[in-house]
């Protein structure tokens, strides 16, 4: 019976297409915008090490679990959880996991789109030559003026959401697959070229030192949580995006192999971004902890002074926007799939309503950078709060629940059939998903509340 279960919305055309789509969902602003600035805020190397440990020991096993649950359930996260709980005779309350995922996706996209809007605005700045010969203070001022303008931020946020809705409406297999085929390799090549540039700057070794030198004195409970949250955010885990993408995955494809490729690609892109940004930071005597503006205050200095900087600048920001787009469609897809499958919406209508809600919520983040900058709850503005609640709480909690479900609720027969691994490898995964990954998430939480 299970073998005939198919996603009502079709499947990826090939194994390679799935790898592309999953990489497209993973690689995005999380790698190029967020990873460098939170690494800067959390002291560098030791934070990076904790991040890498979280990716390998917690993220990858949970990504395997989330993909296999999606492929077995074959639907949006809520319906999938309903199917899987029925099959496993588990408590029906598990379907709230699907609800939390859909909400997390919308909440994340609401600010993700605003930041993608910054990148879009910077395509125009790069094109009009705004960075030519500008020094660090001038570049910083340009950024301050830009985010200080709610009108400009709203314009680009709107444009980005429209683009997301337009892609989602056609179904994520059409168009997206083709675009990613050249986008991912080109992004990679561009990053390598920029690493080449970073090597010529005087701050190169200082940058590397910051990124890889282990100084554990800078590591607080909060940084450990941020590192774990970033592992979930960057891999796109714990909110059902991987689950819906898994639902479109053909039966024969090896899930573990795919997860290894995708998590490796995601990690490499984040590290490359760090290797590019920090040398520029140190070469210009800038602070490492300048927050969400970090890449917008550093990279333009490089583009404004290097040979070919005009073209590199345009290409960089264009690719950043496209990488963000291939993630934004994954963030909204759980909601859209649910509206289509469980509420009978057409894809067009589903994209419209989910997009409209996300767009409206986005204004909370837009105003956090200007009109409402002084409005703080628990010492954080609305953008910071949204980021904290989603990345540091909702995604790890969702991931924890996924680990518990895949490890303890699903029968081993079912997970074994989906993974189709040799016995020893399957047992390693069982060990990780039953004990290590959930315990890891749990201990990090205990550490933050000060119990451990
Ligand atoms: N992984 C994406 C990034 O790093 C963001 C994302 C989060 C995408 C959750 C899908 C789901 O930019
Ligand atoms: Na990522």
- The predicted-structure confidence for 143-166, as pLDDT tens digits, reads as follows 999 999 999 999 999 999 999 999
Question: For each successive 10 residues of the chain (452 residues), what is the average pLDDT?
Answer: 66 83 95 98 97 98 97 95 95 95 98 98 98 96 98 98 94 75 90 96 98 94 95 97 92 91 97 97 95 97 94 96 95 96 96 98 98 91 96 97 97 92 95 98 88 68
CA 363 from centre of chain: 20
Tokens standing for 304?
């404004």
Contact call for residues 66 and 149 (beta carbons, < 8 A): no
pLDDT at 1: 37
Q: How many CB atoms lie within 10 A of CB 87?
A: 16
Pocket test for ligand 1, best of 25, 245, 272 (most atoms within 8 A of CB): 25
The CATH architecture to which 2-448 belongs is Up-down Bundle (1.20)
Backbone angles phi, psi at 8, to 5 degrees: -65, -15
CA 420 from centre of chain: 28
Domain layout of the chain by residue ranges: 2-448
pLDDT at 2: 45
Task: State the Cα–Cα distance between residues 433 and 60, nearest whole angstrom.
Answer: 10
Ligand 1: which atom is nearest the Cα of residue 29? 12
Cα 63 to ligand 1 centre (Å): 13
- C-alpha to C-alpha distances, 254 to 200, 419, 437, nearest whole angstrom: 42, 7, 21
Cα 182 to ligand 2 centre (Å): 18
Pocket test for ligand 1, best of 331, 335, 398 (most atoms within 8 A of CB): 331
Q: Which ligand is nearest to the CA of 112?
A: 1
Contact call for residues 80 and 98 (beta carbons, < 8 A): yes
Nearest of 113, 150, 165 to residue 356 by alpha carbon = 165
pLDDT at 448: 83
Q: So what's the ipTM on this one?
A: 0.98
Ligand 1: which atom is nearest the Cα of residue 233? 7
Task: State the Cα–Cα distance between residues 195 and 222, nearest whole angstrom.
Answer: 30
pLDDT at 8: 81
Q: How many CB atoms lie within 10 A of CB 5?
A: 14
Cα 71 to ligand 2 centre (Å): 22
Cα 356 to ligand 2 centre (Å): 25
pLDDT at 4: 56
Pocket test for ligand 1, best of 21, 22, 27, 30 (most atoms within 8 A of CB): 30
Pocket test for ligand 1, best of 233, 274, 398 (most atoms within 8 A of CB): 233
Cα 330 to ligand 1 centre (Å): 8
Task: State the Cα–Cα distance between residues 207 and 278, nearest whole angstrom.
Answer: 5
Q: Which ligand is nearest to the CA of 33?
A: 1
Contact call for residues 238 and 394 (beta carbons, < 8 A): yes
Ligand 1: which atom is nearest the Cα of residue 31? 4
Ligand 1: which atom is nearest the Cα of residue 324? 12
Alpha carbon nearest to ligand 1 atom 7, residue: 236
Q: What is the pTM of this model?
A: 0.95
- C-alpha to C-alpha distances, 105 to 155, 330, 421, 444, nearest whole angstrom: 22, 8, 31, 23
Ligand 1: residues whose CB is within 6 Å?
25-26, 28-31, 108, 233-234, 236, 239, 241, 327, 330-331
- The predicted-structure confidence for 179-226, as pLDDT tens digits, reads as follows 788 888 999 999 999 999 999 999 999 999 999 999 999 899 899 999
């Amino acid at each position: 019976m299970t073998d005939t279960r198919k996603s009502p919305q079709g499947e990826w055309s090939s194994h390679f297409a799935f790898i592309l789509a999953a990489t497209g969902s993973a690689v995005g602003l999380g790698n190029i915008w967020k990873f460098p600035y939170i690494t800067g805020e959390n002291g560098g190397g030791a934070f990076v090490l904790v991040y890498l440990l979280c990716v390998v020991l917690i993220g990858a096993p949970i990504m395997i679990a989330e993909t296999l649950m999606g492929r077995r359930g074959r639907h949006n996260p809520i319906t999938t959880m309903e199917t899987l709980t029925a099959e496993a005779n588990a408590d029906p309350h598990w379907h709230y996991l699907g609800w939390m995922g859909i909400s997390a996706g919308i909440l994340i996209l609401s600010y993700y789109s605003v930041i993608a809007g910054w990148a879009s605005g910077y395509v125009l700045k790069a094109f009009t030559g705004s960075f030519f010969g500008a020094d660090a203070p001038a570049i910083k001022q340009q950024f301050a003026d830009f985010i200080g303008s709610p009108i400009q931020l709203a314009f680009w946020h709107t444009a980005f959401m429209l683009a997301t809705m337009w892609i989602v409406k056609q179904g994520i297999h059409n168009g997206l697959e083709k675009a990613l085929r050249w986008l991912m390799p080109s992004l990679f090549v561009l990053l390598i070229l920029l690493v080449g540039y970073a090597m010529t700057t005087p701050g190169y070794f200082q940058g590397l030192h910051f990124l890889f030198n282990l100084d554990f004195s800078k590591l607080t409970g909060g940084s450990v949580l941020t590192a774990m949250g970033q592992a979930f955010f960057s891999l796109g885990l714990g909110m059902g995006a991987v689950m819906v993408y898994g639902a479109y995955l053909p039966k024969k494809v090896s899930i573990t192999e795919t997860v290894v490729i995708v998590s490796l690609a995601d990690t490499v892109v984040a590290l490359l971004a760090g290797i590019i940004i920090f040398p520029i930071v140190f070469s210009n005597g800038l602070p490492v902890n300048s927050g969400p503006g970090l890449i917008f205050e550093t990279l333009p200095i490089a583009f404004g002074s290097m040979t070919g900087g005009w073209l590199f600048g345009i290409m960089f920001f264009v690719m950043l926007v496209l990488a963000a787009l291939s993630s934004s469609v994954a963030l909204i897809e759980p909601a859209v799939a649910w509206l289509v499958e469980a509420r009978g919406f057409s894809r067009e209508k589903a994209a419209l309503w989910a997009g409209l809600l996300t767009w409206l919520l986005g204004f909370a983040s837009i105003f956090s950078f200007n009109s409402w900058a002084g409005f703080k709850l628990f010492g954080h503005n609305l953008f910071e709060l949204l980021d904290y609640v989603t990345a540091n709480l909702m995604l790890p909690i969702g991931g924890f629940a996924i680990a518990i479900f895949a490890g303890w609720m699903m029968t081993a027969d079912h997970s074994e059939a989906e993974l189709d691994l040799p016995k020893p490898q399957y047992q390693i995964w069982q060990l990780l998903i039953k004990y290590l990954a959930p315990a890891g998430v749990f201990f990090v939480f205990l550490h933050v509340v000060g119990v451990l």
